[in-house]
Structure formats: C-alpha cells, structure tokens
Amino acid sequence: MMIFKAYLLLKMHYVIGKNIESETTVYYAYNRLHAT
C-alpha cells in the first residue's frame, strides 16, 4: 500500500504541483488523508 500512496502523491504533485500554493494544498490534503 505504501507504493500506491507514493504513486498517488507523485501523481497529485505532477498534476497540481505546478504552483507553490498548489504544492502546499496537496501536502495538506495528503497529510489530512493520511491522518484519517
């Protein structure tokens, strides 16, 4: 499952991580999702 999470994170980072603000949003969303 760890590989899948890493793939998801990379995909999100590639799609949304074009701006610094977006990267922060992705990181926050991933952190929140991981905490659940």
Is the pTM here over 0.75, yes or no? no
Q: What is the pLDDT of residues 1-36, one digit of tens each?
A: 688 888 888 887 777 656 666 678 778 888 888 776
Cα separation, 19 vs 17, in Å, equals 5
- Compute how many other C-beta atoms are within 10 angstroms of the C-beta atom of residue 27: 14
